[in-house]
């Protein structure tokens, strides 16, 4: 039922969903330029018959959203101290059960200077593939591209990610952040 509803909503709003929804892995959702990105990713996932987990800043879990977000797969995260939540997710991912987690690598809807490396570190720690999901407003297309493995070389992995997202613009292209890591994240990932 949810799959049909999601497909119908995408069609009625003029969006096309593409690619196969993975059953396990870390999903990079990008570009993250709008509050609608969460809704679009849910529709794409539901179209594929999957309900994912989504890391969402804990501040959004107040009020009525505090009831709704967990039911949609939302997991509250303290962006200043994400360690406990991330360690728990890595343990769960290593359990062998299907595990799918969506992360917005930019970490925010506003234009920033870099991506956060959490998606790569979680995938590498848990031995999970990285699935590249996208939203492209100009073409009204959303869905999944390739899946890759996190290697020991974060810079090379980010080159692969950057190449895929080169032509993906998001709902608000002016807010798009180029997929690159801070130098300290690159150094930490290598060490």
How confident is the model over 153-180, as pLDDT tens digits? Answer: 888 888 888 889 888 887 876 766 665 5
128-155: string of b/e by CB count within 10 Å (b at 16+)? bbbbbbbbbbeeeebbbbebbebeeebe
Residue 112 pLDDT greater than 60, yes or no: no
How confident is the model over 131-142, as pLDDT tens digits? Answer: 999 989 899 999
Q: What is the signed CA dihedral for 37, 146, 185, 190, rounded to 10 degrees?
A: 160
96 against 183, higher pLDDT: 96
How confident is the model over 59-96, as pLDDT tens digits? Answer: 989 988 889 989 888 888 887 877 788 788 888 888 87
Three-state SS for 33-66 is: CCCHHHHHHHHHHHHCCCCCEEEEEHHHHCCCHH
Is the whole model's pTM more than 0.75, yes or no? yes
Residue 144 pLDDT greater than 90, yes or no: yes
């Amino acid at each position: 039922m949810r799959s049909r509803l999601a497909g119908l909503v995408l069609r009625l709003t003029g969006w096309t969903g593409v690619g196969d929804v993975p059953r396990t892995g870390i999903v990079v959702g990008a570009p993250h330029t709008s509050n609608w990105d969460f809704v679009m990713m849910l529709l794409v996932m539901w179209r594929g018959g999957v309900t994912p987990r989504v890391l969402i800043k804990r501040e959004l879990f107040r009020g009525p959203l505090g009831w709704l977000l967990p039911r949609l797969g939302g997991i509250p995260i303290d962006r200043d101290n994400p360690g406990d939540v991330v360690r728990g997710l890595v343990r769960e991912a290593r359990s062998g059960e299907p595990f799918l987690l969506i992360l917005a690598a930019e970490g925010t809807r506003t234009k920033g200077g870099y991506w956060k490396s959490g998606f790569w570190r979680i995938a590498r720690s848990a031995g999970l593939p990285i699935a590249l999901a996208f939203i492209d407003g100009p073409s009204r297309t959303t869905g999944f591209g390739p899946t890759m493995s996190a290697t020991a070389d974060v810079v090379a992995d980010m080159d692969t990610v950057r190449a895929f997202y080169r032509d993906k613009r998001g709902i608000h292209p002016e807010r798009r952040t180029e997929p690159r890591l801070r130098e300290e994240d690159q150094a930490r990932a290598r060490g």
